[in-house]
Structure 1
Amino acid sequence: MALASLRTAIEGGLAPGQHLSVADIAASLSLSTSPVREALSRLCGEGLVEDRRGLGYFTRPTPLEDILGLLDLEAIHVRLAARDTGLADPIDATDPTIELWIADVMAHCESQPLIESLLRVRSRLAPLRRLGEAPAQPAAAESDDRLGAYYARWRIAAGMLAARVRRLDPGHSEYTRNIV
């Protein structure tokens, strides 16, 4: 039960680098801490969780290379889906506009395997995107390829996101505190 619940929570979008409190997880599942520790240990073996000696368990940080690869994969998926829909290009490269446009492309794309794959990639990127924003687009950087500009900004932000999830500073991590 603990293993299934933790796996679902991690795959459901826990932020990379997030602290996992054994006591709080055990309390929320109405279990003792032993099965929770065993489940976390098993997830460590699978590479989904890290055991930082003296600090506890954390969701696995996402390396910069993985973030960049996911962004590139998402961009390819979106371009393929957009090619088949015939929708007009986005009107600007701002995050809200592009996100709405991508949702529209996904709604009109007829390739179900492509959409399913895109959804998996976007679900892996979602917790990272919640950690920060892509830098604003400079006014002089207007481009005809608005989607390319959007992904270029997120590639710049990827370094900051990777550094942020690696940080061990409790003031910047999402720790769950045990109050006894």
Structure 2
Amino acid sequence: METLRPVRRTLLRDTAYEAIRDAIVRGDIPPGAPVRDADLAERLGLSRAPVRDALSRLGGEGLVESKPQSYTRVTRLVPGDVRDAAAVVRAMQELAARTAVPHLVDADITVMRAANDRFREAAGRGDVAEALRADDRLHDVLVAA
């Protein structure tokens, strides 16, 4: 019984958010594509309420845009904005790495190597969602440190 651990509680709105976000990031729902809460709810096997919550959160993050009583769609990419955002992310990741490295312990390195292996394997399979999760895990170690 010592191996039993508490089960992570997840809210349906978080599950919907992750599924829709991942579909947008993978390109399964392309930029400019309309998104309808009823359609997404049916595809995800959820009610409309958690999907609406997820779309609201994605709107706050800029991944979807809405005009009340008119449309909700995946935000179109603007090349200049993408370059600007990439530059900011790159600078933040560099700062996190420079700050964290002196504080890393062996366990951190082990987690980072495992995440890097998962990334390489996922990329080799073309599994973008898994590669992104592995990349997030590697960077989470640096940010936590």
TM range (shorter): 0.3 to 0.5
Which is higher, the Rg of structure 1 or of structure 2? 1
Q: Which has the higher contact order (CA 8 A, sep 6+)?
A: 1
Taking structure 2 as the reference length, what is the TM-score of the superposition?
0.44
